[in-house]
Amino acid sequence: MARIVFFLLSLMVLAAPASAADVNIVVDLSQQTMTVTVDGVREYRWDVSTGKKGYRTPQGSYQPTRMHREYYSRKYDNAPMPYSIFFRGGYAIHGTSHVSALGSPASHGCVRLKTSNAKTLYNLVRAHGADNTSIRIKA
């Protein structure tokens, strides 16, 4: 009987959701960087690429609207957009293989970062929830 109780308690602990933390993503367009804080503690700072000349990355405050581990652009020749976190219409934060361009404007408006960093961010947002995540894009 004690084994059954222990087993059931173990299942309850494993099934309990992690406490949600506030995830804040700040993209600095002038610096071409992204800073990620969790409950006010800076966890990550990465180089990004945002909208190049003739394209813009929208400034403002947003929340994730949808997420896709694998996504392909319908607008730009089926370009891969791994670990996409959409925040305004077709604008997303996503991974890129064009890492040599990170740190300078090079996209059609999305916020691109190294794919391994995009995966880390994607998993962080999934773990804490889109409702607990804010995205701010500033000049």
String of DSSP letters for the chain: -HHHHHHHHHHHHHHSPPPP--EEEEEETTTTEEEEEETTEEEEEEE-B-B-TT--PPPEEE---EEESS-B-TTTTT-B-TTEEEEETTEEEEEES-GGGTTS--BSSSEEEEHHHHHHHHHHHHHH-GGGEEEEEE-
Q: Over the stretch 28-82, which tens digit does the pLDDT of each residue have? A: 999 999 999 999 999 999 999 999 999 999 999 999 999 999 999 988 888 999 9
For residue 71, give both structure tokens.
Answer: 């996504």
What predicted TM-score, i.e. pTM, was given to this entire model? Answer: 0.85
Mean pLDDT of 90-108: 97
* Domain residue limits at 126: 2-138
Strand partners, 93: 85, 111
The number of domains in the chain is 1
Q: What is the CATH number of the domain that holds 89?
A: 2.40.440.10
Q: What are phi and psi of 15, to 5 degrees?
A: -80, -15
Confidence of residue 11 (pLDDT cuts 50, 70, 90): very low
What is the arithmetic mean of pLDDT over 74-103? 95
